[in-house]
Structure 1
Amino acid sequence: MMTILIHEDGLIQEIGKTSDLSIPSHYQTIDVAGKYVMPGLINAHVHLFADGKPFTLSASEGLLNFAFHHILDTRLGRSVLKKRVKKNALTALHSGVTTMRSVGEFFYTDVQLRDEINTNRFVGPNLLVSGYFLSVTGGHGAPYLALIGDSPWEARKNVRLNVKNGVDIIKICVTGGVTDANMVGEAGRLQMTEEEVAAICEEAHKIGMRVAAHVESTEGVRIALEGGVDTIEHGAEMDEEIISLYKNNPRALNGYTALIPTMQAAYPAAKLDTSLTKVNETVKENSRLVYDSMLKGLRQAVEHHIKIGVGTDAAMSYVTHYDIWRELDHFMRQTKLNAGQVIERVTKSNAEILGIDHLTGSIDVGKQADLIVMEQNPLNNIKALSDVAMVMVKGNLIQTPSVTRIREVDELLDSVW
């Protein structure tokens, strides 16, 4: 029988046979005999402002502007938003996600949440946060969710502003996105220039900060890679030049760029009948174009041994904070990756990509005790990750995790996949 000894500071102290370890008498013993223990999951692409219930952004610009300034950007609106952000982070934690990278929130609410967790106001997941997107005039996320810059120096200024507000990473929007596209093809349309991307990366990298790039077209990926981004979020079909740049990118912080696909975010709108999803034809066609190209990119990344992480784009319609197992299942169905390989990507590989592998991502002495316990073996059935028996983050045990599920989302996805 094996034992993991966890120090009072939340770090893993020893791992070994129970008979070989000297366990201090004041330590609490948790019996998990017959269960399965693995590192906590890492979701490398989330938003905390929403929970995955279907939503639409088809309202007029005037209505959106009114809603933002007169509802969301008020004392009451910000208070409600902050509570929702906290609730969604805790939902993820109780589902086994012990580390999250938040890649775009309103009003730096993710920075506030991270600081409250790190100062022990409450037990929450490890958070890496980006605050606002960096975008261009009329770009993805602008003007409500993004800082806008239309030149390399304006872009640098926005990096500095986010850094001053305490972010851990910089998130940029190199192309358009599905949620705010008004016409077919706009989702992947190039918005930032290589010069702007390069200025952002140089500004961030000089202080050791990574840059994540929202990209949904092949040319967008090329521009982002040439500018030196550290992760491509979503992604697209590749050519030989792009494949080479992923693997050897001299402008990236660590000399390579990783891919973080988000298959489950695009799949429902792209592949399900509009009578089920209630999206309009423009959203459906943009989603289809993005999903098909993203899937080709994922398969190429597997084939060419490009570093791949796992992110879900939680908050988007039909992507909850508790169903990361669906993304892993999608990988397995659509590529040659097996359960062990996708589990490695959602733990160890994600930690390496995010630069936190010295802290988490594996069960090793000296690392944080970020663990999950399951009744079933996920190597035999990846859906075992949908029912976590216990969660531990930084040595804090959640003995009976509780997740409130969204029935309309679960029933739809279960019926078609």
Structure 2
Amino acid sequence: MIPTATERVLVNCALYDGVGSSSVTDRGVWIGADGTIRAVGGSDDVLTEAKSVRPQIVDLGGRYLLPGLVNMHVHLGLGLPGGMAEAVHRANLAELVLLMADSARQTLHSGITTVRLVGETRYADFALRKAIEAGAVDGPRIFTAGHALCCTGGHGWDADGLEADGADGFRRAVREQLRAGADLIKVCVSGGIAGEHEQIDTPQLTDDEMAAVLGIAHDWGRKVTAHAGPADTIERAVELGLDCVEHGYQLTDELTRTMAARGVWYVPTITVSRCEQFFVDSGVPTWMMDRALSAGPRHWESLQYALRNGVPIALGSDMPPHARYDETTATVRELEFMVEAGMPTLDALRAATIRPAEWLGVAGTQGTVEVGKRADLIALTADPTRDIAALRTLHLVLKDGAVYRDDLGLTAPRDAR
């Protein structure tokens, strides 16, 4: 049975609301039957305010409550070279949607209440989004680019890429994604780690082609993010008006200063150049594993340049958000890497909550724990404002006020405990 929201008050929690600089103890949060937050304050005050509706009262026992996480680089139908790609390619459309639905369910149960999809195939993501919105299946809120766009034979052509050539070809490809309902546009402007017949620093689009993508997308009010590796190619795209860089394996000090000055965002996906065991378990070919891991030191340096120069950064794992990695999930490990690279813990939390909401244009409805916003919430047993690794203690997940995971049974009816 699909969970639904109910009048509920969470009390006795230590709240990190996404706005302040620390967790505040003895807080209460009233969640309305419409799935939004109706009150936030001291536990007793919120209980008094909500008493007229006779809500369910959930005592969190001093545990930590914070906004649900947002992962900005997700492929629910991920098909890396090797066995994963073969499984995706063999699947018919119905099988593909079911495969993606399972990944979506696991993603939500891992505390990620919103995802930004940056390349799926056969428009299955739009069917899945509709099913989640209708309450037919469990899954995070989806913002999707539809197909990633690439040149003929370019990065992703054999996975989720839609091939095009020339300015007119890319204009048409953008419009096809917009026609399907894309929230943003993803374009591959260089090679990457998963393309056998390319290198990370292989430029793949001309300026005319990039300008065509950006022009149509911006005319339609959509942002554009680019799979990109080398600094010179990224610099050309930034000059043309790019909104966001994915991976950025070879950023420089100068380029990150330009990105910061122009408000160009960065989703580093730092895990993808240091996840050897995941590659082994996924059966990817040796050439891809070697390329990814050898890119690691330069990729790390790119992240540090971006941090040092104030580039706006959002969390994105590229690995399946729920994938097991170093005894946690890829999403949590990505945040831990970001902190290890020099990002303050509070900034890392914001990079996974309010900052992505800002990029997506939904900061008015999600990303923090405030009155009127969606009740997308997770609970932990440790304080994430002191140590980002506290996210490893996740035990409760709500989206739009509905409970999707409750390891401790805290929200179960009292007579069922």
TM-score relative to the length of structure 1 = 0.83
Which residue is 2:65 aligned to? 37
Instruction: Name the SS for the 1:134 alignment partner.
Output: strand
Instruction: Name the SS for the 1:352 alignment partner.
Output: helix
Residue 276 of structure 1: how far off its partner (Å):
8.5
Percent identity between matched residues is: 28
Aligned: 1:224 with 2:233:
no
CA–CA separation in structure 2 for the residues paired with 1:276 and 1:121: 31
Residue 126 of structure 1: how far off its partner (Å):
1.0
Compared with structure 1, are the counterparts of its residues 50 and 244 closer, same or farther at alpha carbon in structure 2 (3 Å cutoff)?
closer
User: What letter corresponds to residue 242 of structure 1 in structure 2?
Assistant: L
Instruction: Give yes or no for contact 1:216–1:290 (8 Å, CA) kept in 2.
Output: no
User: What letter corresponds to residue 228 of structure 2 in structure 1?
Assistant: V
Task: State the Cα deviation string for residues 341-397 of structure 1 (Å, max 9, x = none).
Answer: 211211111211222211211111111111101112223443331332111111112
Residue 175 of structure 1: how far off its partner (Å):
0.6
Which segment is superposed worse, 130-139 or 353-362? 353-362
Which segment is superposed worse, 126-135 or 14-23? 14-23
Aligned: 1:326 with 2:333:
yes
User: What letter corresponds to residue 83 of structure 1 in structure 2?
Assistant: L
Instruction: Name the SS for the 2:116 alignment partner.
Output: strand
TM-score relative to the length of structure 2 = 0.83
Task: State the Cα deviation string for residues 135-170 of structure 1 (Å, max 9, x = none).
Answer: 101101115522211111111111100111111111
Which residue is 1:265 aligned to? 272
Task: State the Cα deviation string for residues 293-335 of structure 1 (Å, max 9, x = none).
Answer: 32121101110111011100024997779431101111122x2
Aligned: 1:197 with 2:210:
yes
Which residue is 1:248 aligned to? 261
Which residue is 2:9 aligned to? none
CA–CA separation in structure 1 for the residues paired with 2:73 and 2:115: 7
Which residue is 2:14 aligned to? none
Which residue is 1:309 aligned to? 314
Residue 285 of structure 1: how far off its partner (Å):
4.0
CA–CA separation in structure 2 for the residues paired with 1:30 and 1:316: 28
Task: State the Cα deviation string for residues 204-252 of structure 1 (Å, max 9, x = none).
Answer: 1112111110001112211221222211000133346523431233xxx
Which residue is 1:290 aligned to? 295
Picking from 22, 31, 37, the partner of 1:12 is 37
Which residue is 1:405 aligned to? none
User: Aligned pair count?
Assistant: 378
Whichever structure has more strand as a proportion of its residues is 2
CA–CA separation in structure 1 for the residues paired with 2:278 and 2:103: 28
CA–CA separation in structure 2 for the residues paired with 1:138 and 1:154: 14
Which residue is 1:108 aligned to? 123
User: What letter corresponds to residue 96 of structure 2 in structure 1?
Assistant: L
Which residue is 1:118 aligned to? 133
Compared with structure 1, are the counterparts of its residues 58 and 42 closer, same or farther at alpha carbon in structure 2 (3 Å cutoff)?
closer
User: What letter corresponds to residue 53 of structure 2 in structure 1?
Assistant: S
CA–CA separation in structure 2 for the residues paired with 1:98 and 1:331: 20
CA–CA separation in structure 1 for the residues paired with 2:81 and 2:323: 12
Residue 104 of structure 1: how far off its partner (Å):
0.8
Which residue is 2:28 aligned to? 3
Aligned: 1:172 with 2:184:
no
CA–CA separation in structure 2 for the residues paired with 1:46 and 1:369: 22
CA–CA separation in structure 2 for the residues paired with 1:168 and 1:46: 14
User: What letter corresponds to residue 17 of structure 1 in structure 2?
Assistant: G
CA–CA separation in structure 2 for the residues paired with 1:328 and 1:275: 22
Aligned: 1:150 with 2:160:
no
Structure 1 unaligned residues grouped into runs of 5+: 250-255, 403-417
Residue 35 of structure 1: how far off its partner (Å):
0.5
Instruction: Give yes or no for contact 1:92–1:322 (8 Å, CA) kept in 2.
Output: no
CA–CA separation in structure 2 for the residues paired with 1:95 and 1:379: 19
Which residue is 1:396 aligned to? 402
Residue 94 of structure 1: how far off its partner (Å):
0.6
CA–CA separation in structure 1 for the residues paired with 2:225 and 2:280: 34
Residue 262 of structure 1: how far off its partner (Å):
0.7
Instruction: Name the SS for the 2:295 alignment partner.
Output: helix
Instruction: Give yes or no for contact 2:190–2:201 (8 Å, CA) kept in 1.
Output: yes
Instruction: Give yes or no for contact 1:197–1:228 (8 Å, CA) kept in 2.
Output: no
CA–CA separation in structure 1 for the residues paired with 2:384 and 2:140: 22
Instruction: Give yes or no for contact 2:189–2:228 (8 Å, CA) kept in 1.
Output: yes
CA–CA separation in structure 1 for the residues paired with 2:107 and 2:44: 35
Instruction: Give yes or no for contact 1:266–1:288 (8 Å, CA) kept in 2.
Output: yes
